[in-house]
Structures are given as C-alpha cells and as structure tokens.
Chains A and B, each alone.
Chain A
C-alpha cells in the first residue's frame, strides 16, 4: 500500500507527463494561429503545485497562500502583502481601508476628494465611488498615458485627501510629483500597480511608494493565478485594516480554523457589545470575503519564481516591437517610458496620429483580421461610459487627451508567450498595412 507521500509523487509524475502531452508547444502557424495580446505562460510546475494543493484539500487559503504572501512581500521589500481574489478586489480593499475609523482623523470620509484619471480601468475608479468619495479627474499624457504632472498640481483642493492612480500599461506615473504633493498636502497614495509588477522608478519597484498598492494576477497580467490579486503596504496598521476589510470586516485576525491566537478572545471591550464578547465575531469594518483559495495561491507560487524572466521577456519583446514600428512614427505615436522609469511593460500602446491617413478602426480591423489581437486602452474615457456619466466628480481641464485615447489608441501584446515567430508576424502585418494592404481587408477578403 502506497503512503500518501508516495502517491503524491506518482501523481506529480503523471501531471508532468500530462503537461507534455497536453500543453507542449506546437510550431506557430501564421495562417491559422492567433497572436494573442496576453495569456497564461506556464509549465508543468504550475500544474504540479495546483494538484498538490488540491490533494491537501484544505481549499481555503493555507500553506501556499502563506508562502505566496511571504515571498511577495519579500520581493517588494515590504512588511505586508495580502492575497485577494482579484486586482479589482485589491483596489476595493485598499481604498476602503483608508476609510477605517481606526485611522481616526486621517480616515477618508464621504465627500473627500480623490485624484485619479479617466483614461483607465473602471475598478480603479469604482472603489472611490463605492466609498462615497469624490473623484477628481486629471488628463494624461499621450505616449506614456500617465497623469499630467501639471494637472496633478492643479487638482489639489481643500477637500483633496488622496491620490489613487494606476501605472498604466506598466508605465510609472510621475512619483516625484505625487510624492511631493502627498507630503505637502498630507495625502494618502494608493498605487494601482495591477499592470506594472516589476516596473521601477528611480530604481525602486513601483508598488512600494504609496501607502498601499494593488496587484492583479488575472491571466493577462505579469503573473497569474487565474483569478487573484494582492494588496501591499509597509504600514502594519494599514495591513491589519486591509486584512479586516478582506476578511468579512472582522476585528479578529485568526486564520480560518484557528481560535484565540491573540490570547484575548473573551476579554476585550468593543463598542457597546457586552465585555468579553467573542472577538472572533466582532466586526470593526464593513467588509467582504475577498480571499483566495489555496489552489490559486499554489499556481501563484510557481509563477512568482518565474517573474524575473517574465519581466525580461516583456522588455525584450517591447524593444523588438518598438524597433519594428519605428519607421512608422510619422503615422503612429509609439509608447514611451516616463522619465526615471523602467517599465515592466503590460502592452504596447499605439495612438494613430491625426494626419496618419487612416483611422484606428481601419488599422485595428486589419490587425484583427490578420489574427493579431488588439485591445483598447481599457475604457478610453471612463466618464463617457453609461455607468459613470452622471457620477459626482470634479474635472481639471477638458480631458482632451483622454478623449484622444478613447478614439485613437489601442495596444498589442508584449507578453512572454510571444516568441520570435509571433513578433515577426506582428511586424510583418503592420508593415503590410503601412504599404496599403488594408483595402483588401476592408473589402472583406482574408488578410493573411
């Protein structure tokens, strides 16, 4: 009779064989295969960890979640990293944490203003609204697609209490200006680092500048666990508040299945509850259950070990694409890094210039018909979407660049799953379009 450990080893060996049989890469066929903008990049190790975790059958966060949180915090050089079930949840946790009564006078209160951008993803904005805060929108630069530093300065008013922004497509926003404003006006800073894991500003990792930072591990992102995200902070008090918001809002920090790890479960006073009310069921925040399963974390552990390679591949792919498209800079605005930054690129953003002689729609249609996946720069202008058209807000300037992004910008992939053949294919399709082949596609013919 085999022991549990022996059976696990046999299962792991089979999983490795399964990986080779099921997922081994075939040769790229440009006549048939899509060039994706993003996707999972994994090997047998991710499958083995996933199965290993499933054999524990603990299901909820356990040893792999612990390990991921520890290793991720170490990677960032911060004291706290907590897993949540998505980058969107991470933003919800981070912004909600700043409304905690435990922060006393520093807490964000309804009506307080939060500076952000409209050229982004909705769940950077949504938690601001969900917490009854008022977003203040600034425009962004074309090319790096991050907030205009001058407008950031103009945005600060007497009610402004926080800056919550994303490092769009991996490009760090101006952290010098944001840091200066935060110090001068005593603002909270949340870095939405969901697209920028591994990016650096003045040599330091993004996600380590703000009071809180958020990360996404959705398959399109730098590492994945399917659904997943994280919140990080170097402030232990904020870390505990964020954990409470994630874990139903409870005051107790015992993990699932644990009791009285604080040693004061039945001897504390909270609110108007009777003295000694069970701490495990005392709620100090209006919270949620946004935790991950240990299976997700198990995949994340294997992915985190590959992160440096992924970042290097993204940078190399970006450079290769930039070189291929440089001849068309008169018609295409190519992406650029902000000063002092080294992006860990999420995508390769392109804005079709006004006098290009073609529209974004024509170029994107040609690329898609040629099986090159494209994406809009997320929402374009969030304020023009039905959900956000009538939200309370303050706007600095006219957001004209944000509208340009909505109309003329898109991005293609640089993810580590793109090999030389796929990158060459992208370069070739762009080249053909620039030589005038788009008309054939527009007429309904195949573009391959």
Chain B
C-alpha cells in the first residue's frame, strides 16, 4: 500500500441521485497518491492543521479510477450525523481534506470473481471495473442491487465495462416495484440468482460490499454453499 497522504481538496462537483444519495468529485491540491481499486479514503469537513491532529472523518470507497489522479470521486448516502453535515456543507467550491489510500479490499484479478454490491457499496468495485482489461481471462460477475432502479447510479459505467470485457457479466437487483420494468431481478441481491451462472463456483473469489444486513446474508449463504472463509472478502466496518 503506498504511503498515506493528506490532501486539501476543492469540491468540484456534487451530483444528487435522489433519495439523499450523492456523488462528490474532489480536486486535490496535487495529484492523488497511487491507489488500488477497492481502497478507500478518509474525508474530513473541518480544517486540518498540519501541526495538529486529523479532525473527525469518515471513510468512503474511492469510486474514481486510479488513472485519474487529478480528481477523486466518492458516492455516499445520508445515514447519520456526519453524512448529514456532508449533505449540507459539501457544496461546490468549498474545501475539504482527504487522506488516502487505505484498505485491503482489493479484488484479485487473477481469479474468477463475484462482486456483490448493495447501494453505494458498488463504489468499492467501480475503479476495478473501469480498469478491467478487455482480454481478462477470468469470469467477473457483478451482482448489483439498489432500492430503486434510479439508484443504480453506476449502471452506465457497468454497462460500458460489460460491453468492453467479454468475460464480465452483470445481474441487477432492485427492491422496489420498478425492478422488473428496468430489466433487473426484483428483490435484494441474492446468491441464488448468480450461482447457476458461475463457471467454477468453488474456485471463485467472492467480494461483498454494502449494508451490514446484506454482508451477513450473502456471507452466510456462501458459507452454506461450502465456500471457504478465505474466498469470501467482506468490506466490513466496526
């Protein structure tokens, strides 16, 4: 993992997706450090003074590609006090501090992989999908779910990846009634739908990023199918 850097950033763009979900593009004062797809950053709203300690911050997967070091993108849903502050304070033109990169939730591109993504958890995989080589010899299956079809906010990126990479596939899930209409499976992300499409399920690596209930449900299901703990990678937080 490259050395962590603290960077002052300017908020370049804030995009609202509805249902209090936002994508924020930050422009760091200098190029962001190298990072691996799946790694995350800490974002602080209060100013950081280098002679002092790092202020209160929260972590977000880095959704942008490692190739784009001039800007950094995150997506978040409003869930608590800090993200409420982000919603009200993180406006275009204001400054914020980030420190990055962190984390081991890195997809191993040398094996078949299933990526289970719930809601904004998909941002743990977007950089990986963008960087996936078109001649990738391994099956990459993305199971991507959201509450509504409008909240499949990285659908365009996913579609571009699937069109470009023959070994990549996607299966959408939408909880609301709009599921069927949008070509998605109705309901929450499930292993049942994905499993029959896997070529070598016992030789596949499984990655899960999303809400805690989903992490538990998918993880338990995979264990019941005799997938070893070593092959199950969970983007879990205390």
Within 8 Å of chain B (Cβ to Cβ): is A295? no
Q: A69 CA to B5 CA in the complex, in Å?
A: 9
Kindly provide the distance from the CB of B9 to the nearest chain A CB, expressed in whole angstroms.
Answer: 15
**Contact assessment for B2 and A62 in the assembled complex, using a CB-CB cutoff below 8 Å:** no
Contact B51 A79 (CB under 8 A): no
Query: Does residue B4 face the partner (Cβ distance < 8 Å to A)?
Result: yes
**B18 contacts the other chain (Cβ, under 8 Å)?**
no
In the bound complex, residues from chain B placing their C-beta under 8 Å from that of A243 are 1, 3
Residue of B1, B3, B31, B36 with most partner-chain A CB within 10 A: B3
Shortest beta-carbon distance from A114 to chain B in Å: 26
B:28-58 near A, CB below 8 Å: 30-31, 33-34, 36, 42, 50-51, 53-54
A322 contacts chain B at the CB level, 8 A cutoff = no
Q: Please tell me if A87 contacts chain B, counting CB pairs below 8 Å.
A: no
User: Which chain A positions have C-beta within 8 A of B102?
Assistant: 253, 261-262
Query: Could you say which of B3, B104, B238 contacts A70, with CB atoms under 8 Å apart?
Result: B3
B-side interface mostly: loop
A151 within 8 Å of B (CB atoms): no
- Determine if A63 and B6 form an interchain contact, defined as CB atoms under 8 angstroms apart: yes
- Whether B50 pairs with A63 at a CB distance below 8 angstroms is yes
Q: Which residues of A contact B31 (CB under 8 A)?
A: 74
B1 touches A239 (CB 8 A): yes
Segment from A20-28, A51-59, A170-178, A357-365 that makes contact with B? A51-59
B236 on the interface (CB 8 Å rule)?
yes
Q: B59's contact among A56, A63, A263, A267, by CB below 8 Å, is which?
A: A263
Total A-B residue pairs with C-beta atoms closer than 8 Å? 67
Interface check A82, CB cutoff 8 A: yes
- Chain B residue at minimal CB-CB distance from A257: B53
B109 within 8 A of A: no
A55 and B49 alpha carbons, distance in the complex (Å): 12
CB of A66 within 8 Å of the partner chain: yes
Q: Does A81 contact B (CB under 8 A)?
A: yes
Residues of A in contact (CB 8 Å), total: 32
- The answer, yes or no, to whether A440 is at the interface (CB within 8 Å) is no
A264 at the interface (CB under 8 A from B): yes
Of listed B30, B36, B51, residue having the most chain A CB within 10 A: B51
CA distance A260 to B54 in the complex (A): 13
By the criterion CB–CB under 8 Å, are B3 and A58 in contact?
no
Chain B residues closer than 8 Å to A262, beta-carbon distance: 102-104
Near B by CB (< 8 A), chain A positions 5-60 give: 55-58
With known contacts A56-B50, A261-B42, A266-B238, A240–B1 Cβ distance under 8 A: yes
Check B54–A263 contact: CB distance below 8 A: no
User: Is A73 within 8 A of B237, CB to CB?
Assistant: no
Question: In the bound complex, do residue A264 and residue B34 qualify as a contact, i.e. CB atoms below 8 Å apart?
Answer: no
Contact (Cβ within 8 A) A236 B33: no
A56 to B1, CA, bound (A): 27
9 A-B interface contacts by CB (under 8 A): A62-B50, A69-B3, A73-B34, A74-B31, A239-B1, A240-B1, A243-B1, A263-B238, A264-B238
**What would 20 more interface pairs be, CB under 8 Å, given A253-B102, A263-B236, A263-B237?**
A55-B51, A56-B51, A58-B51, A62-B50, A66-B5, A70-B5, A73-B34, A79-B34, A80-B1, A80-B2, A239-B2, A240-B1, A257-B54, A258-B54, A261-B42, A261-B59, A261-B102, A262-B103, A265-B238, A267-B238
